Amino acid sequence: MKEYLAFDVGGSYIKYGVVQGDGTILFRKKSRTNSHLGSEYLVGELCRIADETMEGFALSGIAVSTTGVVDVERGSIQTEICSWINGYNGTQLRELLQKRTGLAVEMENDVNCMALGEQWLGAAKGYRNVVCMAIGTGIGGALLVDGELYRGSRNMAMEVGRMPVGRSHLEDLASVRALIYEYAKLANIPSQDVDGLLVAQREREGDRYAAEAFEQMCYYLAQGIAMLTCALTPDVLILGGAITSDRELLDGRLRRYLKEMLDRALWESLDIQYAKLGKDVNLVGAVRHHQLMSRRRREQAVG
C-alpha cells in the first residue's frame, strides 16, 4: 500500500506523520511552527522532516494541509488574505518541496482537508452538503456541495473567520486565541502564560473567569454558526479543532445560544456534529486530497 508523508501546518504547530493510502496513520509527531521566524524557516523545517522521513519509508508523495488561502493547481499560498506565518503569502511550497525531495507534492487549505477527511472516513461520510468549521488560532471553514469542495472565486470561499461581527471579526471573538486573551484579561495575567488547555482545565475546576471566557467564545461562535445555517442550511455542520475535544464545555452553551438565535425551522434543521478523526483529520484529509489531485492530473494529461 502507498505511504505518504503528511503535514498539517498551523499557526502554532507543524503536525506530521506517515499515512497509508487507506488513511491508516503509521506514526505522528509535531514541532513548533515558530511562525514569527517566517516562511523560510518553515520551508527549511518541512524539508528537514522530509529528508529524515525518507530515510525510513519508501514514500509515494507528500501531502500538505496548511493554514492560508491555497492555489491547489499551483501549490502556492495566495496573497489576498494574510496567514499567521510571517512572509507565507506567495510561498511556492509545492515547487520547493518537489525540488528538494523528488516526490509528488499536493497541498490544500487545512479546513478543506478537514472536510475531505471527514467525508472520506469520518462524520461527513454519506452526507452531500456539509459545512465544516475548525476552531483554533483562527477560525476556518469549508463547504461541500453535492459531495464536492466549493472553493469559490480565487479559492477564497468559506473564510468564515473573517466574517464581520459588529466592529470586529468572528475569529477575533470566538477562536481559541480570543478565548485565551479574554481569560487573561479577566484573570489579570499575561496572555503568554495561557493556552486553551489551561482555560479548559480552569473552567472544569470552577474558575469563574474561565467560565465567562467560554461563555463569550460560545456566544460569538453561535452567531457564526447561525449565519452559516441561515445562508446554507447544510445536511450537517461539523466542528473541529483541538478545543472541540472538550465538547462538554462547548456543546450545551452553543445549543442554548443557537436555539435563541435561530427561527424554529432553522434550529430544527441544524445537525451539529464533531469531527470523528480528531487531531488526525487534517493529515488524513491531506492524503485524500493528494489522491484526488493525482487522479485529476493524470486525467488532464491523458485528455
The span from the CA of 228 to the CA of 129, in Å, is 12
**Buried b or exposed e, range 222-255, using 16+ CB within 10 angstroms:** bbbbbebbeebebebbbbbbbbbbbeebbeebbe
Report the alpha-carbon distance of residue 105 to residue 65 in Å, rounded.
11
Class in CATH terms, 3-109+279-302: alpha beta
Cα distance between residue 284 and residue 177, in whole Å: 25
Q: Which amino acid is at 134?
A: A
Domain boundaries, the chain: 3-109+279-302, 123-275
Task: Please name the amino acid found at residue 226.
Answer: A
- Beta-bridge partner residues of 297: none
pLDDT digits (tens, 9 = 90+) for 147-194: 999 999 889 999 999 999 999 999 999 999 999 999 999 999 999 999
Q: Give the dihedral sign, CA 131/107/86/37.
A: positive
The predicted pLDDT at position 138 comes to 87
d(CA 70, CA 107): 8
* Position 170, amino acid: L
Is the pTM here over 0.75, yes or no?
Answer: yes
Q: What is the pLDDT of residue 12?
A: 80
Closest by Cα among 92, 109, 87, 107 to 36: 87
Q: Which three cell numbers stand for residue 260?
A: 435563541
Tally of CB atoms within 10 A around 260:
11
Would strands 70-71 and 76-77 be described as parallel, antiparallel, or unpaired? antiparallel
Q: What pLDDT sits at residue 82? A: 58
Cell triple for 78? 495566495
pLDDT for the residue numbered 221: 98
Pick 123-275's CATH classification: 1.20.1340.10, 3.40.50.11540, 2.40.40.20, 3.30.420.40.
3.30.420.40
User: Which of the residues in the chain have pLDDT under 50?
Assistant: none
Distance CA 52, CA 48 (A): 6
Q: How far apart are CA 52 and CA 7, in angstroms?
A: 14
Residue 10 has a pLDDT of 86
pLDDT at residue number 242: 85
